[in-house]
Amino acid sequence: MSKQEIQEVRKHQIIKDDEIDLIALIKTIWEGRKTIYYSVGVCVFIGLLIAFLSPAKYTASATLLPSSEKMSNNLGGLGALAGMAGVNLSSMMGQSEGIPTEIYPQVINSYPFLNEFVHEKFHFEDYAEPISIYDYVVADTIPTLGSQIVKYTIGLPWTLKDAILSSKDELEKDIIEYGVLNLSEEEIIALDVVFELLEVDVDDKTGLVKVSVEVDEPLLAAQYVQNAVKLLQDYVIEYKTQQVRENLKFVQERYVEKKEEYEHAQMEYFNYKDAHRNIVSERMDPEFQRLNDVYDIASTVYKSLAQQLEQAKISVKEETPVFTVLEPAKVPFEKSSPNTKIILVLSVFLGGFIGFGIIFGKILWNNIKKYFN
């Protein structure tokens, strides 16, 4: 190694005797400043391309406050004392007002919820009339004329193969009942679209639930959030009131049956009584006594069911959870992404990091080459 090369190595030797030479470090960075400028410029240019060419996204959200848990009346003052001590006796004794907020994300990502959501109609900018997400996905998957030509020319062998296999599968589906969900390709695509759209954040401390959506249409984002909140409320209400609604349905069916029996027994009893009004021994008549007993029993059962029916209706009202929408869904006016400022800042940092890496990489590579030579 020549004397000049040795001096060059020492000149760029930043670490000397286990210490960092700041002067050598600054000189090395200053001499490679053009590399840093070029690197930062290239990264900023790429960042601007990303910022201006990426489709604009708009975010809409809504904040919910589910009804708080209610304490059983039998607890009395014990419930209040337990609440002051930080103990939730209502949840321990099964007296919660609805589905725990912690599982709201699982509720929204469940198949029943997503399947109902994809068939709700929304106003898309490309369509004059509101359509569902499923119909929108199906419209996007309709093959174009060019793809159809390719399908029946170059891809004809594969087209015939797929047709034969699909016909066999359809025949098997007609013969065999699997008893499980068998979704079509369009349904899977639609469910995936909704699955990626809806986001649910639950604040464990306050219990607030935030539902947000980010799409490329501001009006559509607000529609998605508003509909998701409504479906979530309906789902929680249906879950919480399922038992009392089943009890109401049962009582109502029995009430209708006993009402008919009561009216029939009443009609027979009073008709018989009117027909034998002038007979002195009417109260000694066994038929009269039988009709009277039947009427009394039917009347008692009917009145009891009427009371139970009203109580069941009240129970449904009492068990129905109440949601408070603290922040309703609004149509966003400013795009949420891409964020040009953040992209530029990250581009500058990335460009500087790459520039420094190139400078020190060159020095390390030159030193390795010189030492090996």
Do 105 and 168 belong to one domain? yes
Band (180; pLDDT cuts 50, 70, 90)? low
Mean pLDDT across the chain: 75
Task: Convert the pLDDT of each residue in 323-356 to its tens digit.
Answer: 888 888 888 888 877 777 888 888 888 988 888 8
Do 264 and 210 belong to one domain? no
Residue-level pLDDT at 71: 44
Do 163 and 205 belong to one domain? yes
Task: Convert the pLDDT of each residue in 293-316 to its tens digit.
Answer: 888 898 899 899 899 999 989 988
Residue-level pLDDT at 227: 92
Asked whether the beta carbons of 69 and 93 are under 8 A apart, the reply is: no
Number of domains in the chain: 3
Do 290 and 210 belong to one domain? no
Q: How far apart are CA 17 and CA 21, in angstroms?
A: 10
Band (88; pLDDT cuts 50, 70, 90)? very low
Cβ neighbours around 29 below 10 Å, total? 15
Cα atoms in the 13 Å half-sphere on the side-chain side of 110: 12
Do 70 and 130 belong to one domain? yes
Do 76 and 210 belong to one domain? yes
Do 82 and 103 belong to one domain? yes
Domain that includes residue 288, residue range: 246-318
| Residues above pLDDT 70, as percent of the chain | 69
Residue-level pLDDT at 49: 85
Alpha carbon of residue 288 to chain centroid: 66
pLDDT of 256 higher than 80:
yes
Asked whether the beta carbons of 86 and 309 are under 8 A apart, the reply is: no
The token pair that represents 169 in the structure block:
């599968």
Do 92 and 144 belong to one domain? yes
Among 146-155, 260-269, 341-350, the minimum mean pLDDT is found in 146-155
Do 240 and 272 belong to one domain? no
pLDDT of 186 higher than 70:
yes
Residue-level pLDDT at 162: 56
Do 153 and 296 belong to one domain? no
Asked whether the beta carbons of 309 and 252 are under 8 A apart, the reply is: yes
Among 106-120, 194-208, 357-371, the minimum mean pLDDT is found in 357-371
**Nearest alpha-carbon partner for 199 in 180, 215, 187:** 215
Identify which has the larger pLDDT, 258 or 12: 258
- pLDDT mean over 161-180: 50
In Å, what is the CA distance from 320 to each residue of 69, 234, 253?
Answer: 12, 10, 22
Residue-level pLDDT at 307: 92
pLDDT of 105 higher than 70:
yes
Secondary-structure percent of the chain, ordered helix, strand, coil, rounded to 5: 65, 10, 25
Q: What angle do CA 256, 258, 262 make, to 5 degrees?
A: 120
Asked whether the beta carbons of 50 and 340 are under 8 A apart, the reply is: no
In the sheet that 209-215 helps form, which strands lie side by side, from edge to edge? 199-202, 209-215, 58-65, 324-327
Band (174; pLDDT cuts 50, 70, 90)? very low
Per mean pLDDT, which of 66-75, 80-89, 177-186, 226-235 is the most reliable? Answer: 226-235
Is the bond preceding 338 in cis, omega lying within 30 degrees of 0?
A: yes
Place of tokens 């240019």: 45
pLDDT of 163 higher than 60:
no
pLDDT of 172 higher than 60:
no
Band (156; pLDDT cuts 50, 70, 90)? low
Identify which has the larger pLDDT, 172 or 199: 199
Do 14 and 105 belong to one domain? no
Q: How far apart are CA 120 and CA 369, in angstroms?
A: 67
Do 208 and 114 belong to one domain? yes
Rounded to 5 degrees, φ, ψ at 200 are: -125, 125
Identify which has the larger pLDDT, 8 or 193: 193
Q: How far apart are CA 214 and CA 232, in angstroms?
A: 18
pLDDT of 169 higher than 80:
no
Task: Convert the pLDDT of each residue in 35-83 to its tens digit.
Answer: 888 888 888 888 888 878 878 888 999 998 886 555 444 444 444 444 4
